[in-house]
Amino acid sequence: MFRLGRMLAQGDLKLLALSLIAEQPRHGYEIIKLIEEKTGGWYSPSPGVVYPTLTYLEEAGYVTAEADGAKKRYAITPEGKAHLDANRDLADALVGRLSEIGLKMSKFRRWMGGSEEGGHGPSDLPRLITAAMEDLRDAAKDRFEGDRSAELRIVEILSRAANEIRGQ
């Protein structure tokens, strides 16, 4: 599930940063945080990688930088938009890959008994019970998707299980 080494191939960060800037003007720090959020906290590019990438994009004419206090806010140029449009499939695939990693991290955290933030979930149930409940949810979802008429049967089974747990 985890890959060691470089997260993004050469040039991927340039396209990814350009794609995020195209959504709205951003600071370098915002780009770092967005990538971290999209990967569920698993990957956060270092400032030592992001800021040289932004400098490259500016020198290539793909973004402009304007002073915003002590920071720079980057905005896409028409040349940058044209470059992004020419590479839209790759840019969308990169964003999709990061989102997929984020989903895997969320599932992994739930499997380990934690919440999305990495702590314990709101119910503080033991990890094995949480895993069993996830399995039950997945089984019910799979059964329901395969046969919409199974809804009443699923509800009956879950009600019986809840009553048995309550000791009734």
Q: Is residue 7 part of a domain?
A: no
- Is residue 115 pLDDT above 80, yes or no? no
**Cα distance between residue 135 and residue 124, in whole Å:** 17
Per residue in 77-105, pLDDT (tens digit) is: 999 999 999 999 988 888 888 878 777 77
Q: Is residue 17 located within the same domain as residue 83?
A: yes
Could you tell me what percentage of the chain is helix, strand and coil, using 3-state DSSP and rounding each to the nearest 5?
Answer: 65, 10, 25
Q: Is residue 75 located within the same domain as residue 102?
A: yes
- Please count the helices (runs of H) and the strands (runs of E) in the chain: 7, 2
Q: Is residue 103 located within the same domain as residue 137?
A: no
Q: Decide: helix, strand or coil at residue 82.
A: helix
Query: Nearest 5°: CA angle at 22, between 54 and 19?
Result: 70
φ and ψ at residue 132, rounded to 5 degrees: -65, -40
Q: Is residue 21 located within the same domain as residue 85?
A: yes
Q: Is residue 140 located within the same domain as residue 92?
A: no
Q: Is residue 159 part of a domain?
A: yes
**68, 83, 111 - which closes a domain:** 111
Per residue in 43-81, pLDDT (tens digit) is: 788 899 999 999 999 999 999 999 988 899 999 999 999
Per residue in 123-163, pLDDT (tens digit) is: 566 777 777 787 788 888 888 777 777 788 888 888 888 88
* Look-up of token digits 């959504």: 23
CATH number of the domain where residue 94 is located: 1.10.10.10
Q: Is residue 21 located within the same domain as residue 65?
A: yes
Q: Is residue 60 located within the same domain as residue 96?
A: yes
- Is residue 119 pLDDT above 60, yes or no? no
Q: Is residue 68 part of a domain?
A: yes
Q: Is residue 117 part of a domain?
A: no
**Cα distance between residue 128 and residue 134, in whole Å:** 10
Q: Is residue 90 located within the same domain as residue 153?
A: no
Question: How many domains does the structure of the chain reveal?
Answer: 2
Contact residues for 42 (Cβ-Cβ < 8 A; gap 6+):
2, 101, 102, 105
What is the 8-class DSSP label of residue 114? Answer: B
Q: Is residue 136 part of a domain?
A: yes
Q: Is residue 136 located within the same domain as residue 63?
A: no
Per residue in 7-54, pLDDT (tens digit) is: 566 678 999 999 999 999 999 999 999 988 888 777 788 899 999 999
Domain span holding position 137: 127-166
Q: Is residue 156 located within the same domain as residue 94?
A: no
